[in-house]
Chain A
Amino acid sequence: MDKELIVESLSPMEREVLPKLGEDFLEIKDFSEKMDLDKTTILRAIGFLKNKGLVESETSEKKVIILGILGVNYLKKELPERVLLNKLVEKEIIPIGEIKNVCSLNDNEAKIALGTLKKKALVDIKLGKISLNAKPEEVRKKMIEELLLEKLPMNIEEIVDLDKLAFENLKSRKDIVEIEEQKTTKVKLTKLGKEISGMNLTEDLLEALTPKILKQNQWKGKKFRRYDLTSPVPRVYGGKRHFVNQSKDYAKSIWLDMGFKEMSGNIVETGFWVFDSLFTAQDHPVREMQDTFYIKDTKGKLPPKCKKKEECVISNVQKAHEGGIDGSKGWQYKWKEEDAKKVLLRTHTTSLSARKLLEIGKTKEFPAKYFALGKCFRNETVDWSHGFEFNQTEGIVIDENANFRQLLGYLTQFYKKMGFEKIRIRPAYFAYTEPSLEIDIFHPVHKKWVELGGAGMFRPEVTIPMFGKHIPVLAWGQGFDRIITEFFGINDLREVYKNDLNKLREMKFWRKGE
C-alpha cells in the first residue's frame, strides 16, 4: 500500500504509540508507563499496527509464583508456625489441645503450625505437651518459607534450592502461594514501520463525522482518517422467531399455495377422536399407557347421541368396530363407550382430520383439501431420535375421484418443496388407512433413507360413519421436526426444544424454497 495512505489510516492512538517503538524488541510495560494511554488502548493500537504490518510482536508466557489470599495475610502478620514458636518462647510449654486458644489460630492452622515445627525439629512433644527444642538464634532465624513469601513474585523457572523447598512446602497448604500464567508481549517496528514512523504523523485528520463538523463545514479541505475495513467487529445478535416456527411457516405456505385450508383444534382430546373414529381397536397396543399420555381422573365428552341411530356418529363408529359396516368384518369385539371417553394428549394430528370429516359429512362441501401442522405427544423415553413432543404435518383430501396416485402427487410435491428431491414409498400398515404407505426421504448428508411416517386412504370403516357413505379421502401425517433438523445442523432431536440461547442466537434463518 502507498505509504501516504497508510499514514492516513492511522488513528490518533496509533500515531501516539508508533514513535515510542524502535527496531529492538521492547516489552509493552517498558514504554506504556511513559504514556498517557491506558494499557488496553495501547494493546489495541498495537493490534491495529500489526494488522497494517508496521510492527511485529513476540509473546512469551511464563509461570509466576505469586502470593495467595492467605499468603498476603501471613506476609503482613506472621505464619502460624511463627506464631506458635513465639508463644513457646513466651510460655515454654503448651498442651497440644490448647494451641488454638493460646495462639488464636483455627484448627487447620494449629495443626499445620505444630506439624511444621515438628518437621523442622524445633519442638519436642511429650505427653501431649509441646516444648521448645531450639536455641534462641535458631528461633530468631527466619524460616525459609518466610523468606520466600518476602521475595514473591518470582518466575517459577528461576526458583532454586531452599526457595524451591519452601515453595513445595507452601504449595501443599491452601491459598498461600499460587501459580499465575503471565503473558509478556514484546514489540518492535518492522522495516515498513520504521519508514512510516519517520514520516510526518502530525497531519490533522478528521475522526468521526459529527453534527458539529457538518454544520460548521469543518470538513472542507480536510481528510478523514481511513478505516481498516477488513478488521473484525464485535458481534451483534438480532431478535428472531424460533427456527421451528420459521420452518413451520414455510411448510404451511406450501400447503396454502396448493389450495389447502388449515385445520386447528385441541391438543387434549378424547380417545374417540384420536383412536375410535379412526378404526383403532380398543385393545390396540398404541392405546396403552406405555405409549399414550392419558390425563388423570378425567373423562371427556363424546359427540351427542341422536334420535335416529343410523345418523349418529357414535353408533356408526361402534358398528364399524364391532363388525358390519359396508360388508366389513370389523374387529369383532365389544366396543366400550367408556374407553372412548378417556382423555389424552393427541398422538397424531389425525384427530383434527377425523373431526373435519364429520363436519364435512354435514356440510357436504367437497372436494376439499385440509392441512394441519401441530404438536403431537407420545409417552416415549427420550433419546436422540425420539421426543415426547413433536410436530406433525397432516393433510386430507376429500374427493369422490381421489385416488392413490394423487396421494403420491401431493406428497411428492410437498417434499420436493421442502428440499427432498428423492422420496421413496413402500407398503405400511395403519389401522385407519388402506392402502397405506410409508414415506422415506433420502438424507443428503447421511446418504441413507430416513423414515418419516405414514399416509394412505381412509378406510370405509372411517369414512362411512362420518359421511354416511364411502367417499375416498387421501390422508397423511408425518413427523415434521426430523425433516428440518438437517438444515439447521441438528443431529439430536433433544436439541430442537432445548432453547440454548447461545445456539438460538447463532442459528441461521430458514432459507429453503427461496
Chain B
Amino acid sequence: MTILTLNRKEFEKKVGKVTKELEKKITDMGTPIEEVTDSEISVEVFPNRPDLLSIGNFSRAVNQFNKKGKIANFKINKPEKNYTVTIEKSVKPVRPHTVCAIVKGLKFNDEKIKEIVDIQEKLHNSIGRKRRKLAIGVYPLDKIELPIRFIGKNPDDIKFQPLESNREMTGRQILRGHVAGREYGDILKDNTVFPIFIDANNEILSMPPIINSEKTGRINSTTKDIFIECSGSNLIYLKKCLNIILASVSEMGGRIYAMNIKDIKDGGFVSPNMSQEELKFKIKDIEKTLGIDLTEKDVRNYLAQMGIDYEKRKGSSIALIPAYRTDILHWIDLAEEVAIAYGYDNFIPEIPNISTIAYEDPTDKIKRTIGNILAGLGLLETSSFHLTTKKNVKKMHYDFNEFIELEESKTERDVLRMDILTNLLQIASENSDAAYPQKTFEMGKVFSRKPSEDPEEEINEEESLAISLIDEKINFTELKQVLDYLFKMLDVKYSIEPVDNSNYIIGRCGKIIVDGKDIGFIGEVAPRVLKNWKIKMPTAALEIKLDFLN
C-alpha cells in the first residue's frame, strides 16, 4: 500500500481549498483519503497508478477529474550539442538499458528537493520493484560534463565518494559498507562488472541502482538544470518511468530537452518520447461492460476527466493515452476509466433474470449433518488453524517426521496439520479452567504427502473428523457410544479391530474399519501424551477420514 502525503498548502495552491466535497471527489477518483490534517493530506495510491505519486502529477489528475484541468501536453525540445548518452557493450550484461532527459529552468528549494527525492523513492518501491526492475538518478547539470557514457566496470576499479559518505569507496566497498549498498547490493553482487554513469571528464556520476556520487549527483537549492536517467532491464517500463518523472518536473515549471541515446549493441533512439499512445476501442463494448448507455460526447468527457484524450478517426473511436500512464493495457481499462468518471455511486445495481440451479458441495453437506448429530449429543464444535508446529504434533506422534513445512512463516506455526486431534488436545490443554466434561469435535482438512516418485507431487488433502471426550470418569465405552450413534444415524456399518498404537493406552485402541477400509483410530489417549499436553483428565479420542462418505 503506497501512501502519498501532500503538503496541504502547496496542494491547495494547485487544486483549491480542500473541502469535504473535494475529499469525496478524491476518493471517488480511486485514491481514498487516508488522513486530512491542517498541514497535510494523505491518500492511498493503488499500485497501477505510479503516475500519481507526486504532488504535481496528483494535482493535475485531481483538476482534470474536477473538470478544471486540461489534458497534459508536453513540449520536448530538441537535443542540444553533446546531449548524448552512450550505452557501451560492457554494461549490457548487468544493466542493459537506460533512458535519459535533461530538464532546465527549475527553481529548487527544500520543499522541491524533498519532492523530487520522494517521487524517486516511491517509483523505486512501486514499479521499480525495490530498484530490482528499475532505478532513477537525478543530477545537477552544472556539475557534470556532457556527453555521458553508461558503462560496466570491474567493481574494484570503480572509485568515487557516494552520497551520505565522507570518503571515496570502491564499488565493492559500497556494497559492503554503505547503507544503500547493504540494502540494494543483492541486485548487483553476483556480477563481474557493475554499471556506472560517467561524464566527459571521466567523473563517475553514479553506480545504479545503488547510489549517486556526492560530487556530481547532489541537487541543492542553486540547481536550475538537471540530468535525469532511468536504468534497468525492461526498456518499456524505463520509458514509462522517465515519462512519469518528467510529467512531474514539468509541473514544477521545467523545460524538457531530449537526448540521443546511442546503444552500441541495439542501436539508438531519442529520449524521451512523450507522445500519447493510441488505443482503438468500441463505445458499445464499454456500454456492454458497464451496463449503461453512453453517447460519444459522454465518453469523450469521461475520458477527459481521467486525463485521456479522445478522437474519432475513420469511424473508429481512439483513446489517446498520456505518456505517463502505465496501466492502460487493453480497452477494458478504458471501461474502468469511464466508470470512475461516471461515478461508482451512480450505477444502479441490478440482478439479471437468468435461471441457474443451485448446488451444494456434498462434503459440506455431510459435514453439516455430522455436526448436527454430534451437537445433539452435547458435543461442542471447535474451529482451529490448519497450521501448527512440529512440537505440537510430536506431543502425540513422537516419531512423525513427514512434515509439510512452510517457508519463512511469520507466525510460530510453520507446518500444515497432519491430523485434527492435535488441535483438540491443544484446545484441551489451553482450557483446563473450563468445566468438565469437555466434549469437543472438529472437522476440516488434514494434509499429507502422497508417496510418489514424481518430483512434481501433489499434496493430499483429506477431510477429517476428530472427537475428544475429557472428564474425570471418561472411558472408551462412552466414546464408542458416540461413534455408534453417529454411524447409526449416517447408516454406516463399521467394525473395530484392536491395534497396538502407543499414542493410546495399549489394549484400549482400535482401528475403525468401514467396507474393509481402515478409516481411523479410536482409543483412550496414552498418559504420556496427556502429560506432554499437561491435560489433567482422562481423555478418549477418535479421528476418522470422512472421504468414504462421498
Given contacts A295-B404, A460-B332, 13 further A-B contacts (CB under 8 A): A239-B439, A245-B368, A262-B360, A264-B363, A267-B445, A330-B329, A377-B387, A402-B352, A404-B291, A404-B335, A428-B30, A501-B434, A502-B434
Contact of B331 among A327, A435, A437, A504 (CB under 8 A): A327
Contact indicator per residue, chain B 226-258, by CB within 8 Å of chain A (1) or not (0): 000000001011000000000000000000000
Residues of chain B lying within 8 A (CB to CB) of residue A427: 28-30, 336, 339-340, 344
B407 close to A294 (CB less than 8 A): yes
A399 close to B332 (CB less than 8 A): no
24 pairs, CB–CB < 8 Å, chain A vs chain B: A261-B356, A262-B361, A263-B361, A264-B361, A264-B364, A268-B416, A268-B459, A283-B129, A294-B406, A343-B459, A379-B409, A399-B352, A403-B288, A409-B352, A411-B349, A429-B30, A429-B46, A429-B48, A435-B335, A459-B332, A499-B431, A500-B431, A502-B434, A504-B382
Q: Which of A24-32, A127-135, A296-304 contacts B (4 or more CB under 8 A)?
A: A296-304
Residues of chain B lying within 8 A (CB to CB) of residue A294: 406-407
Residues of A within 8 A of B (CB): 237-242, 244-245, 249, 252, 255-264, 266-268, 283, 285, 289-290, 293-301, 326-330, 332-333, 341, 343, 345, 367-369, 375, 377, 379-382, 388-389, 399, 401-406, 408-413, 425-429, 434-437, 457, 459-461, 472, 496-497, 499-502, 504-505
B356 close to A368 (CB less than 8 A): yes
Complex CA gap A261/B361 in Å reads 8
Residues of chain B lying within 8 A (CB to CB) of residue A244: 383
Does B132 belong to the interface (CB within 8 Å)?
Answer: yes
Residues of chain B lying within 8 A (CB to CB) of residue A504: 380, 382
Residues of chain A lying within 8 A (CB to CB) of residue B371: 241, 245
B32, B358, B377, B438: most-surrounded residue (chain A CB, <10 A) = B358
A241 close to B30 (CB less than 8 A): no
Contact indicator per residue, chain B 412-430, by CB within 8 Å of chain A (1) or not (0): 0100100000000001001
When A328-B330, A504-B382 are in contact, do A259 and B28 touch as well, CB less than 8 Å? no
Does B374 belong to the interface (CB within 8 Å)?
Answer: yes
Shortest CB–CB separation between residue A243 and chain B, in angstroms?
8
Does B333 belong to the interface (CB within 8 Å)?
Answer: yes
Contact of A406 among B291, B345, B457 (CB under 8 A): B291
Nearest residue (CB) in B for A255 is: B358
B288, B291, B434: most-surrounded residue (chain A CB, <10 A) = B291
Residues of chain B lying within 8 A (CB to CB) of residue A459: 330, 332
When A238-B375, A459-B332 are in contact, do A245 and B459 touch as well, CB less than 8 Å? no
Contact of A256 among B237, B358, B416, B456 (CB under 8 A): B358
Contact of B383 among A332, A410, A499 (CB under 8 A): A499
Contact of B133 among A259, A283, A505 (CB under 8 A): A283
A329 close to B329 (CB less than 8 A): yes
A403 close to B386 (CB less than 8 A): no
Complex CA gap A502/B435 in Å reads 8
A499 close to B354 (CB less than 8 A): no
When A268-B461, A404-B347, A499-B431 are in contact, do A240 and B380 touch as well, CB less than 8 Å? yes
Residues of chain B lying within 8 A (CB to CB) of residue A381: 410-411
Number of A-B contacts (CB under 8 A): 259
Shortest CB–CB separation between residue B339 and chain A, in angstroms?
5
Residues of chain A lying within 8 A (CB to CB) of residue B471: none
B29, B356, B364, B431: most-surrounded residue (chain A CB, <10 A) = B356
B440 close to A501 (CB less than 8 A): yes
Residues of chain A lying within 8 A (CB to CB) of residue B359: 256, 261-262
Nearest residue (CB) in A for B441 is: A239
A461 close to B330 (CB less than 8 A): yes
Residues of chain B lying within 8 A (CB to CB) of residue A260: 356, 358
B405 close to A295 (CB less than 8 A): yes
B459 close to A298 (CB less than 8 A): yes
When A257-B358, A428-B30 are in contact, do A379 and B375 touch as well, CB less than 8 Å? no
B438 close to A501 (CB less than 8 A): yes
A434 close to B461 (CB less than 8 A): no
Complex CA gap A392/B316 in Å reads 42
B290, B345, B350, B461: most-surrounded residue (chain A CB, <10 A) = B350
B386 close to A293 (CB less than 8 A): no
Residues of chain B lying within 8 A (CB to CB) of residue A388: 385, 387, 409-411, 413
Complex CA gap A355/B321 in Å reads 34
Does B292 belong to the interface (CB within 8 Å)?
Answer: yes
Residues of chain B lying within 8 A (CB to CB) of residue A297: 405
A428 close to B455 (CB less than 8 A): no
Contact of A367 among B340, B350, B356 (CB under 8 A): B356
Complex CA gap A496/B355 in Å reads 36
Residues of chain B lying within 8 A (CB to CB) of residue A410: 351
Closest 6 A-B residue pairs measured CB to CB? A403-B291, A427-B30, A429-B46, A435-B336, A405-B291, A408-B349
B364 close to A457 (CB less than 8 A): no
A429 close to B379 (CB less than 8 A): no
Residues of chain A lying within 8 A (CB to CB) of residue B386: 267, 345, 375, 377, 389
Does B222 belong to the interface (CB within 8 Å)?
Answer: no
Does B378 belong to the interface (CB within 8 Å)?
Answer: yes
Which residues 112-166 in B have Cβ within 8 Å of A in the complex?
A: 129, 132-133
Does B447 belong to the interface (CB within 8 Å)?
Answer: yes
When A261-B356, A405-B349, A429-B47 are in contact, do A497 and B459 touch as well, CB less than 8 Å? no
Residues of chain B lying within 8 A (CB to CB) of residue A500: 430-431, 434
Residues of chain A lying within 8 A (CB to CB) of residue B29: 427
Residues of chain B lying within 8 A (CB to CB) of residue A402: 352
